Structure 1
């Protein structure tokens, strides 16, 4: 696709693509060079997942990724993204303690990190906190099913 004719991907443009039966593309990106390439290729969603801090910063599993690390990588991705919809992953325990914490963490990923929305791993325990993020006006990409960012015992019971 010609970058000159492209527009920034928005929630509305994604809804329009879905309604028209067009494919919606997504890729995990973890740093500025990878994001710049994916953005130029034309992916709709650029997801800054927790695999980035794991691979780049040597974390043994997703539960050890710190919010500030995820924020820094989200910021790097958003700085070079012109068209793609940047999805910032909410790390383990960054939205689990309270509704206030959930909103504050999501707000930081959007306001400081430049994310267009946040991605949360949802289950019956986190649903009310994720709903508060949405009520606060922050778009959420939900992730249900296998929960890689959950502690092993919690993931098995969700």
Structure 2
């Protein structure tokens, strides 16, 4: 019988605790134990990026991180992006520029880009493409995503500077 362990993780600002088998992935902890199904599981090998979340501010592939390894940490998922004042600038830009079609990969792109744009602004198109190279999309052709990142970068700056509408 597989042993279980109590895991406590702050997810999108709320404490989530569950007793889980020690081999439970962070993705399964989020999806199956806490109903946060925005984190999508594609390849289950850490290759496609659909399951990307922020673990203590850094993007990780939640399908290959064990929940017990994230015990005591902070996790941010796509469900935590929108605030009381509406969608996150990245979400708005993805919508505006058709940066998504089926939407399966979108949460992973968004979480990857939250980290990227949180660290660096004014990226050239080549730098944006490099930043998202670990996320796979079969629908969009990526151009809408690149345009969305450029727009979000400008919009986010205005909001950070206090000039939001």
Q: TM class by shorter-chain length? A: 0.3 to 0.5
The structure whose RCO (Cα within 8 Å, separation 6+) is larger is: 2
Which has the higher Rg, Structure 1 or Structure 2? 2
Normalising by structure 2, report the TM-score: 0.31
Structure showing the higher helix proportion among its residues? 1
